[in-house]
Amino acid sequence: MKCRSSRTSVLRRNILRLYTVTLIASCLAIGFYIDQGWNVTRAHAIADLEKDATLSAQIIDDGVKDAGKLLGITKFRIEERLRRGGLTRQQAHDLLKESISNFILYNENQSFGLLVYLDREGVIVAQNGIYPAPPYYLGDRLYFRLLQENPSKKYSIGNLVKARTTGKLVFHMAMPVHGPDNLPAGAIVQQISEEEIAVTLGKIIRNPGEKVMELTSSGEAAFIFPLPPNPDELREISFPRLLKLIAHLGKSSGWVKIPGGITELQETVYAGYLFGYEDGICSVVTLRESEIYSLFMNQYRKELGISLLIIFVISVLFISLHRQSRNLDDALSDSQHDQLTGIANRYAAEEVCTRIWGDALRRQEALSVLFIDIDHFKLLNDTWGHDTGDMVLKAVADSIRRSLQRPLDFCCRWGGEEFVAILPDTGKEAAQRIANTILNRIRELHLSKGGKPLPMITISIGVATSQPEHTEDKERLFSRADSAMLKAKMEGRNHVVLD
């Protein structure tokens, strides 16, 4: 009985082990697939960021080059007039108007705004389209301050602002103007509109969540796409820590992962970048890591669903197998247990006896068998009823079971009112003591039905012991014990007979 139970327990444990191994292997395989998918998605996103950084830099560069050509022409004409004896506001206005008119004949750049000439203090002297020009002070603008702080600079780029003259979002390119003494005499400034460049960028950006920034050498944003929620705060937006981090990489282009909080960016982002201008302007295209994760989920949602379904099917399969093994264990247990008394039945005894018999022969140990029969059971059954007979059978079985103290001692209901006890490594004297213990325990039973005491229950026990030096099969041993029990019956019952 224990052997069968242990086999089914081993089966259940093996099913659980196989399920665990299969589940772990499946999770590892799915995890590897997900990791590879994430790496592929991230690699594609990074490649897109690098390409978009290059393209955005090229778009800005084209606008800056065109502005540089116009500024170069205008700068030359203004400095020539200054060398010839000065320049009135009217002459400056006419010169700006003429320069831009000639430039438009050969260029179709739609992103240019006002062309402005500033004096050395940063006050507007002239601008195309308006005469006389309003004397706005622009000396606080980044592009003008950069020229003042670095007189040797050929040009400067300002940050993205709302133009005071038009109210549009623009950034500026400025070139210094020198007088006859080669001292600073002001600056010529070209507005570059954000709107036209944004339209172009919107057509080339590969991922909707990308953000394009053109950073000046001090970290101010010369251009941002898409615009922040409140464009009026553009002058306060700068990214010096971000620019410093990228500059420390020591490469003119590439990509970098930027954890949230170590720069002005609050979230973890991946950034493609390119230093594309002489004055150190850096084109940066960023994409939040959460956006890349969303791209990954969109691309691999079907595969992830299938993976989860596979794990679910595997779990259902193994749970079903485990339940079936438990049902098998229950069925085996039922087949080896007597349903009335709860102890083993004859089928289990035959299997256990085969195992114990083999162990006894191998170890050269004595083995004893007790055949036990309830005296006058038929009379008791006929007089008091079958339910009383069942109560007596249960009480006798429990008494036999409690009389066997060792783990390997075995008892079963052999059939009807007969019971068998198998005692490994037990000689004749020890078997007789155990038999007497059982006999006395059952004599001490006090059973009643409906308040009426039953007659004293007694049993007859036959004991047979197999000696290791004698050759004998287990069937012969059982037959001897049965014969000894019959002899006890013939001698008056209620005692033990040794074979």
Give me the tens of pLDDT residue by residue for the chain, a chain 499 residues long: 444 455 556 666 777 777 777 778 888 888 888 888 889 999 999 999 999 988 888 887 777 788 888 888 899 989 988 888 878 889 888 888 888 887 765 555 555 778 899 999 999 999 887 888 888 888 888 889 888 888 888 888 887 777 766 677 888 889 999 988 888 889 999 888 877 778 877 777 878 889 888 888 888 888 888 877 766 666 667 889 999 999 899 898 999 999 988 998 889 999 999 987 555 688 999 999 999 988 888 888 887 788 788 888 877 777 777 676 665 555 555 567 788 898 888 888 887 888 888 888 888 888 999 999 999 999 998 899 999 999 999 999 999 999 998 888 999 999 889 999 999 999 999 999 999 999 999 999 989 988 889 999 999 999 999 876 665 788 888 999 999 999 999 999 999 999 8
Q: Say what the pTM is.
A: 0.57
Q: Map out the domains of the chain with their CATH numbers.
A: 1-324 (3.30.450.20), 344-498 (3.30.70.270)
Q: What distance in Å separates the CA atoms of residue 113 and residue 445, rounded to the nearest whole number?
A: 115
| Per-residue pLDDT, 369 | 94
| Per-residue pLDDT, 332 | 57
Q: Is the Cβ–Cβ distance between 139 and 164 less than 8 Å? A: no
| Per-residue pLDDT, 3 | 45
3-state secondary structure the chain: CHHHHHHHHHHHHHHHHHHHHHHHHHHHHHHHHHHHHHHHHHHHHHHHHHHHHHHHHHHHHHHHHHHHHHHHHHHHHHHHHHHCCCCCHHHHHHHHHHHHHHHHHHCCCCCEEEEEEECCCCEEEEECCECCCCCCECCCCHHHHHHHHCCCCCCEECCCEECCCCCCEEEEEEEEEECCCCCEEEEEEEEEEHHHHHHHHHHHCCCCCCEEEEECCCCEEEEEECCCCCHHHHHHCECHHHHHHHHHCCCCEEEEEECCCCCCCCCCEEEEEEECCCCCCEEEEEEEHHHHHHHHHHHHHHHHHHHHHHHHHHHHHHHHHHHHHHHHHHHHHHHHECCCCCCEEHHHHHHHHHHHHHHHHHHCCCEEEEEEEECCHHHHHHHHCHHHHHHHHHHHHHHHHHHCCCCCCEEEEEECCEEEEEEECCCHHHHHHHHHHHHHHHHCCCCEECCEECCCCCEEEEEEEECCCCCCCHHHHHHHHHHHHHHHHHCCCCCEEEC
**Distances from the Cα of 346 to the Cα of 337, 441, 481, angstroms:** 9, 23, 15
